Amino acid sequence: MKNNSHFSNLIKKIETKQAVVGVVGLGYVGLPLAAGFADVGFSVVGIELDPRKVSKLNQGISYIPDVPTEQIAPLVENGTFKATINPEVLRNIDIVIICVPTPLDEAGDPDMTSIKGATDMIAKYLHTSQLVCLESTTYPGTVTDLILPKLQTRGMEVGKDFFLAFSPERIDPNNANFRVENTPKVVGGVTQYCTKAAEAIYKEMVVKVVTVSSPATAEMVKIFENTFRAINIGLANEMAIMCQILGLDIWEIIDAADTKPFGFMPFYPGPGIGGHCIPVDPSYLSWKMRSMNYRTRFIELATDINSSMPKYVYRLAVNTLNKADKVIHKSKVLLLGMAYKRDIDDLRESPALDVFELLHEAGADVSYHDSFVPEFNYGKKVIHSVELTKDVLTEADLVIILTDHSTVDYEVVCQHARSLLDTRNATKKIKNPSAHIVKL
C-alpha cells in the first residue's frame, strides 16, 4: 500500500479519539451504535429525519428499549452525544455510518429511497479523509453500484481522498448476551485503505472485526445470515404442519434432536416471521438475482411457507372452536402478544397482525394483551391492549398465544382460559392445566 496522507490523518484521529462519528438514522440499529461509540470516548452526532426523536434524545430520553435512558442521559449531559436534523454537521464529521431503513415497496422490491436520500445528503458535504460506511442491510452491489457513483461526483477519488465500506449490522434486539460491542463485525471496503479505515474505527468499539475482500462480499454475508434463518424457520414451520398431520409434538421432537452435539441447530416454528429483517432481507437477494435471470428457489419456498403461517394458525383456531361446538363468527378470541418476538415492542411485519385481521374479518370478537404494545392502528381504528385479568381469560372462547412475552404468567393463563392455542410452546412447563390446550 502506497503512502496516503488522507488515510493517515483519519487513522491518527481515530487512534487519538479525536475523530467525530456521525450516525445517519437513529433507530433500532443507529441509536445503539451511536451510544456505543460515545461510550468508548468518541464525540458522536446523530443525524435523524424525525424531529421528535431528535428532541427526545437531546433531552437525554431514549425510545429504543436496548438503549436505556440511563445510558443516553449522561452522554448528552457531558456533550459526547447529540442529535440533529441539520445535515450541515457533516462538514465536521470524520466517519459517517448510514443506518437508514431498507424496506420493500408495494411490489415487494427493495425500496432504496432512504439509502439514496442519505447518500445524496452525505455527497453534498463529502470531504477528504472522510469515511462513509453503510450498515443498512441491502443487496450485494449497493455500495459500489449505487453509493459510490453518487459520492464520486465531487471529483474525489475513493480509497485516496475519501473511504467507503460496508459493515452489516448484526444487532439482535433484546438479546441480553450479544450486544453491539461483543458481536464480531464484518467489514468490506471498496479498496484496501477503505477496509483498513473501517476496521480501525470499529476496532475501537467492537470485540472483533473480520475483514472481507469487498463491500459486496460483506453485503452477501449479511443476506446469507438472515436467509439462513428464514429458510430454517420455514423448515421448522413445515415440520410443525407435518407433525400436526401425523399427531406428533414438534416441540418434543426439536428438543430431542437438539441433544445431538453436532450437526443440528434448533429453529422453532411459530405463527410466522416478523421484524424488519428476516421477512425482508431475503427478498433483496431475490430481487438482485431476478435481475440476473436467476430464481432463488429456497428463498421462494421459505417465504411461501412462512407467510402462510398466520392462515394456518387461523385454521387451527377455527378447528379448535369447532371442536367446542363454536363458530368463529362472534366468538370471543383473546390474542396474547402482538410484537413479532418476545419482550420487544416492535410490530413491524408481525404475523400477529395478520392473525388479528383474519379473525376480525371472519367476524370474531378479537381483543389482545401485550404489555409492550399498548395500542396499534388497524385501518382507521386504534386497538388497545386489554388488561390480562382472570375474567378476561375466562370470558374468551379461545386464547391464542402468538408471542411468548416473559411478562405473562402462563400458569394463570392455563388456569383460567377455557381453550388455548399455543403457537410458541409457552405452556411447556405447566403441569395439570385446566384449559384445553392445542399446540402448533
Ligand X SMILES: NC(=O)c1ccc[n+]([C@@H]2O[C@H](COP(=O)([O-])OP(=O)(O)OC[C@H]3O[C@@H](n4cnc5c(N)ncnc54)[C@H](O)[C@@H]3O)[C@@H](O)[C@H]2O)c1
Rule CB under 6 A: which residues touch ligand X?
24-30, 47-50, 53, 99-102, 114, 117-118, 136-137, 169, 171, 173, 276-277
Smallest separation, CB 312 to ligand X (Å): 25
At residue 65, the 3 state secondary structure works out as coil
DSSP string, 229-294: HHHHHHHHHHHHHHHHHHT--HHHHHHHHTTSSSS-------S---SSSTTTHHHHHHHHHHTTT-
Give whichever of 198 and 413 is closer to ligand X, judged by the CB atom.
Answer: 198
Smallest separation, CB 309 to ligand X (Å): 20
Give whichever of 137 and 350 is closer to ligand X, judged by the CB atom.
Answer: 137
Smallest separation, CB 269 to ligand X (Å): 21
Whether the CB-CB separation of 73 and 60 falls below 8 Å is answered with yes
Q: Which residue has the cell 370471543?
A: 332
User: Going by C-beta distance under 8 Å and a sequence separation of 6 or more, which residues neighbour residue 222?
Assistant: 137, 168, 169, 170, 186, 281
Smallest separation, CB 143 to ligand X (Å): 13
Rounded Cα gap, residues 361 and 353, in angstroms: 12
Give whichever of 139 and 251 is closer to ligand X, judged by the CB atom.
Answer: 139
Q: How much of the chain is in helix, strand and coil states, percent to nearest 5?
A: 40, 15, 45
The secondary structure of residue 175, as a DSSP letter, is -
Residue closest to ligand X (Cβ): 27
Pick the closest to residue 338 from 312, 371, 293, 305 (CA basis).
371
Give whichever of 26 and 364 is closer to ligand X, judged by the CB atom.
Answer: 26
Give whichever of 223 and 328 is closer to ligand X, judged by the CB atom.
Answer: 223
Residue type at 90? L
Rounded Cα gap, residues 80 and 62, in angstroms: 15
Q: What is the dihedral of CA 113, 115, 121, 125, to 10 degrees?
A: -160
* 277 carries an active-site annotation: yes
User: Going by C-beta distance under 8 Å and a sequence separation of 6 or more, which residues neighbour residue 236?
Assistant: 250, 254, 267, 268, 269
Smallest separation, CB 128 to ligand X (Å): 23
Angle at which helices 69-77 and 30-39 pack, to 10 degrees? 50
Q: Which residue has the cell 428499549?
A: 65
Give whichever of 87 and 234 is closer to ligand X, judged by the CB atom.
Answer: 87
Q: What is the dihedral of CA 185, 187, 192, 198, to 10 degrees?
A: -70
Give whichever of 137 and 303 is closer to ligand X, judged by the CB atom.
Answer: 137
C-alpha cell at 71: 445510558
Query: With b meaning 16 or more CB within 10 Å and e meaning fewer, what string describes 166-193?
Result: bbbbbbebeeeeeebeebebbbbbbbeb
285 burial level (CB within 10 Å; 0-12, 13-18, 19+): buried
Smallest separation, CB 47 to ligand X (Å): 5
Give whichever of 240 and 280 is closer to ligand X, judged by the CB atom.
Answer: 280
Catalytic member of 133, 194, 277, 414: 277
Smallest separation, CB 48 to ligand X (Å): 5
Smallest separation, CB 210 to ligand X (Å): 16
Active-site residues, by number, are: 277
